Amino acid sequence: MSDLKNVGRSIRKVDALSIATGRALYTDDFPLENPLSLMLLHSPHAHAEIIAINTSEAELVDGVVDILTYENTPHTLYTTAGQGYPEPSPYDYRMFDRKVRFIGDRVALVAAETAEAARKALAMIQVKYGELEAIFDPEGSMEPLAPKLHGEDAYAPLPVKYDPLRNLAAEVELGFGDMAKGFSEADLIEDNIYHTHFASHCAMEPHATKAYFDEKGRLVVITSTQVPFHVRRTLARVLDIPLRSIRVVKPRIGGAFGGKQEIILEPMAAYVAWKHKRSVRFVLSRKEVFTFCRTRHPFRMRFRTGYLKDGTITAMDVDALMNSGAYGAHALTVLSNSGSKMLPLFNKIENVHFLGRTVYTNTPVGGAYRGYGATQAYFGFNQQIDIIARKTSQDILDFAKKWHIRNGETSEVFRILGEGKEGVEQYIGSCGLDECIDRGAEKIRWYERRDLHFSPVPEKVRGVGMAISMQGSAIPLIDMASASMKMNEDGSFNLHVGATDLGTGSDTVLSQIAAEVLGVSPEKIIILSSDTDLTPFDVGAYASSTTYLSGKAVEKCALNVREQILTTASQILEIPRDELLYGEGRISDRSRSTEVRLEEVCLHALYTKDQYQIQSCASHVASESPPPFMAQFAEIEVDTQTGEVKVIKFVSAVDCGRAINPRLAEGQVEGATINGISYALHENYIFSDNGRMMNDSFWDYKIFTAPDIPEIHTIIVDSEEKTGPYGAKSVSEIGLNGPAPAIANAIYDAIGVRLFETPFTPDKILRELKKL
Amino acid sequence: MKDIFTINGQRIEYEFDETDVLLDVLRNNGHYEVKKGCGEGECGACAILLDGILVNSCQILAASVRGKEITTVRGLGNVHDPHPLQEAFADTGAIQCGFCTPGMILASYALLKENPHPSDDEIKQALDGNICRCTGYVKIFEAVRLAAERMRKNV
């Protein structure tokens, strides 16, 4: 495939100039005629029952049209998790509820002619709460006497373990081999508990939904979402209105990272619009995004690893406790992924056991977040292997190479653990992890830096650390993507995809794939994505699926179109189809003496005889989920006086299969990496004793800005995944897995301090230094 | 109240309340290229140039800008005739979701006007008030360097 013309080229994103010149429209940029402003009243209590709610005074505020509460809205149970049907997440959520379960939970919604009126009315709603005992610590959540968040009515639509009366939102257990034997054979056992913390996605565009009625009286919902088709399905069910009456449009999205795989605003917005037959505007404040939307699920993960003195691992036992917060969005699947995206990496361990539980607490709600459980799991995993490598006097790079999964190999975990059901057996068809490790090590100058404790000034010490990880590419046998395409008289093509570009560049990558198949430049592909009226179905942008899954649907669709072009060309040229060559923009005989241009092919098909439209559609379901692989290296400097950790240099080397657009792939890695470093060092939810997030602004929730950026290197290794479009796998999530453990391992390398809990703030460093 | 605003070289009258911030007045009147990311002056998505100075429009009362020249990213160029910074952001992959891009480009513009040959540190300092969550900033720095180079060559 060395003669590729479009795939493998770093062309501009198809929407780049419209964004750069300020013309691209995001949800809140669509003008509506006199929309109602929607504004939420949030709970001041972590756990309470609403005894009485009095909206009568608020309703008298000039301009107030309606106030929604649990008393006047549908009671249908659903999940805000935007997943396939039936969802693997429990149905434990209503549009409004008589009970509030975390500070920031929804209590009431005001719909008013102006934002000022809505704000004024909010302050006049009188709510009498009956406070309930709250539980914040996931460790105590399942105790018999712990307060229960959800009643008997909450249920899981899939046959999975779910027990709200014990605060158990999900449970996953798997094992193979003989654990007793594995541990009895071990010379040593490494037994550690790792904690990861809350984090906000911090997409620059706050969650936003607008809705209006078109001229036929259908409801059009423009929304900042990763999952337009799941939004439509959920709205129809929750509002009990015909699905055919709803059109969901995804415009440009100002970042998502999993945070917009949630159906939070849409049901409320659509309900008000439908009830009053009015257009509505619902845009959250940054504070609401922090406190009311989703977070990264915190984990406690205990790793018990048995091993011989030579480093042979004899058993791995993982006990995971995931804090779901007040509702169970992605409660099962993030938990499953913490096992299924981690355990196969060291597939040579014969005795493995994993027990994971997700529990409810009265804290902000966890959800999908780039990395999706793998990020949390690899924090412990990579420190565990660093510790064992050191204790058995091995270089962690050699140790990792000895144990990681390779081409042609499989893992029992793939078969056992799926998403709400059994997994899918798969054999690795592409693994460039050795090359990732080698090239990353060279770039960070591993062998010149490791164990050196280099000290540029007396109080500062440097160190290097590494972390490896894998992710997946779509959910096998569950996720489906589709595409449709038609040809125009100038040899251009309209490509319609359900795939959801969140800023990731999927519109561009999918255009490149279509252009490659059809032998045209990408400008000849006119892409339209994510409109439930105009484009075919796609599950949406999650599970690292778009390039791999939607890309394959586009490739199939374009191949069908290409076949029709050849058939038509055969009629025009009167040469058998099998003797034709498909060239750039033209079809010719083998000697290239007779040819017909694509324009002529389309004109012939549309206007000459037995006229027809050259067009096709195709769907794709993946039978496996080939993992991308990554090795990440940190060089850090610890200030032993202040406890501050500074990243000096960070290297990410990735095997993402063939990069369809290398520059965009690098951008995915760089963005995930900086998010990961920022998460490891700064970002955190700081709670008051009663469960209120205290730092709900960018001033106090510090994320990396330009001056914080260290020297960054991204390496894309050569790789080809045969099941993917032009050899591609996924790339968007994996880069978040390595920063925290690579930095933790580097801190140990520098000062001999092992941090089992994120983030690595100065107080923790100083506390640990004192213990030395 | 009413006042005349000068936006991207055009004078236009808008009606607004005395407590309205400039960001809201601009957005209410179709200047959707000015984004609202936080409303607290921290993220820089709403950045504009006021007489050539980079400011967060969410922190400025609309009533206070009389007689001043407002420049938004639309004032630099359009899809048919983009500014070198807009081209460079597109060419380097500095745009992912693009919500920060208008502010980033204006911050870069303000920098390059004062300093056509900025060092990497100067670029980082100049963009300190603009948050991006998608790119990790790496390609944004590259875009500013590339635009600076192209703009120097054009002079």
The proportion of chain A whose per-residue pLDDT surpasses 90, expressed as a percent, equals 99
Quote the ipTM score.
Answer: 0.98
pLDDT in the model for residue A1: 47
Asked whether A581 and A589 are in contact (CB, 8 A), the reply is: yes
Q: What residue spans define the domains of chain A?
A: 16-24+480-621, 32-132+207-283, 295-475+624-771
**A148 pLDDT tier (thresholds 50, 70, 90):** very high
| Domain end residue (candidates: B55, B74, B93) | B74
Residue B63 lies in a domain: yes
User: Which of A18, A254, A666 lies closest to B99 in CB terms?
Assistant: A254
Equal CATH topology for A32-132+207-283 and A295-475+624-771: no
Contact assignment for A21 to B125 by CB distance below 8 Å: no
The pLDDT score that the predictor gives to residue A421 is: 87
Q: Which of B90, B102, B127 has the CB atom closest to A12's CB atom?
A: B90
pLDDT of residue A639: 98
The pLDDT, as a whole number, for residue B151 is 96
Contact B134 A503 (CB under 8 A): yes
Question: B45 CB near a chain A CB, below 8 Å?
Answer: yes
Q: Which residues pair with A40 in a beta bridge?
A: A109
B104 and B62 housed in the same domain: no
Closest CA to A758 of A769, A750, A747: A747
Domain C-terminal end among B56, B74, B92: B74
Whether B106 and B66 map to the same domain: the answer is: no
Query: Do residue B137 and residue A706 have CB atoms under 8 angstroms apart?
Result: yes
How far apart CA A132 and CA A298 sit, in angstroms, is: 23
pTM for the structure as a whole: 0.98
As a whole number of angstroms, the distance between CA A279 and CA A214 comes to 10
Q: Is the Cβ pair A20, B101 closer than 8 Å?
A: yes
Does CATH number 2.60.40.420 belong to domain A295-475+624-771? no
Q: Is residue B23 part of a domain?
A: yes
Class of domain A16-24+480-621: alpha beta
Kindly give the pairing relationship between strand A352-360 and strand A313-325.
Answer: parallel
End-to-end CA distance of chain A: 56
> Which of B34, B55, B74 finishes a domain?
B74
Q: Which of A224, A223, A292, A289 is nearest to A254 (CA)?
A: A224
Which H/E stretch holds residue A220? strand A219-223
Q: What topology does CATH give the domain A32-132+207-283?
A: Aldehyde Oxidoreductase; domain 3 (3.90.1170)
B70 and B88 co-located in one domain: no
Residue A445 CB coordination number (10 Å):
14
Number of domains in chain B: 2
B146 touches chain A (CB under 8 A): no
Flag whether B79 is in a domain: no
Percent with pLDDT over 70 in chain A: 100
| Cβ neighbours of B130 in A, within 8 Å | 705-706
Instruction: Classify residue B100: in a domain, yes or no.
Output: yes
- Return the pLDDT at A420: 84
User: Is the per-residue pLDDT at A243 higher than 90?
Assistant: yes
According to the model, what pLDDT value does residue B19 have?
95
Same domain, yes or no, for B10 and B68? yes
Q: Residue B133's closest chain A neighbor by CA?
A: A203
The string of pLDDT tens digits covering residues A416-465 is 998 888 999 999 999 999 999 999 999 999 999 999 999 999 999 999 99
Q: Is the pLDDT of residue B83 over 70?
A: yes
Please, are residues A74 and A237 in contact by the beta-carbon 8 Å criterion? no
CB-CB neighbors (< 8 A) of A506 in chain B: none
Q: What is the CA radius of gyration of chain B?
A: 15
Q: Could you tell me the two tokens for A29?
A: 């940029």
Q: Half-sphere exposure of A559 toward its Cβ, with a 13 Å CA cutoff?
A: 10
- Read off the pLDDT band of B154 (50, 70, 90): confident
Contact present, B35 and A694 (Cβ < 8 Å): no
Statement to judge: residues B67 and B34 lie in one domain: yes
Angle in degrees, CA B85, B89, B90, rounded to 5: 120
- Nearest chain B residue to A668 by CA: give it: B135
Contacts of A56 (CB under 8 A, 6+ apart): none
Question: Which CATH number does the domain housing residue B44 bear?
Answer: 3.10.20.30
B148 falls within a domain: yes
For an interface test with B, which of A204, A700, A704 has the most B Cβ atoms less than 10 Å from its Cβ? A204
The 10s digit of each residue's pLDDT in A455-483 is 999 999 999 999 999 999 999 999 999 99
Please write the tens of the pLDDT for every residue from A1-58: 468 999 999 999 999 999 999 999 999 999 999 999 999 999 999 999 999 999 999 9
**pLDDT tens for residues A615-657?**
999 999 999 999 999 999 999 999 999 999 999 999 999 999 9
- Closest-CA residue in chain A for B20? A116
Please indicate, yes or no, whether residues B94 and B55 belong to a single structural domain of this protein. no
Residues of A in contact with B49 (CB under 8 A): none
- Measure in Å the smallest separation between the Cα of B106 and chain A Cα atoms: 10
**Which two structure tokens, joined as six digits, stand for A242?**
């015909």
How many H-runs (helices) and E-runs (strands) does chain A carry?
19, 28
Model confidence at B155: pLDDT above 60 = no
Per-residue pLDDT tens over the stretch A489-509? 999 999 999 999 999 999 999
Condensed to tens digits (0 to 9), the pLDDT of residues B91-134 reads 999 999 999 999 999 999 999 999 999 999 999 999 999 999 99
CB A234 within 8 A of CB A550: no
Q: Has residue B94 been placed in a domain?
A: yes
Clarify whether residues B89 and B118 are in a common domain. yes
Distance from CA of A646 to the nearest CA of B (A): 16
Q: Which of A85, A209, A97, A204 is nearest to A151 (CA)?
A: A97
Asked whether residue B109 is domain-assigned, the answer is yes
Domain boundaries, position B111: 84-154
Q: What is the pLDDT of residues A381-411, one digit of tens each?
A: 999 999 999 999 999 999 999 999 999 999 9
d(CA A154, CA A316): 34
Query: Do residue B47 and residue B91 come from a single domain?
Result: no
Q: Is the same domain home to B6 and B65? A: yes
What is residue A772's predicted lDDT score, i.e. its pLDDT?
Answer: 86
Return the pLDDT at A152.
82
Asked if B127 and B69 sit in the same domain, the reply is no
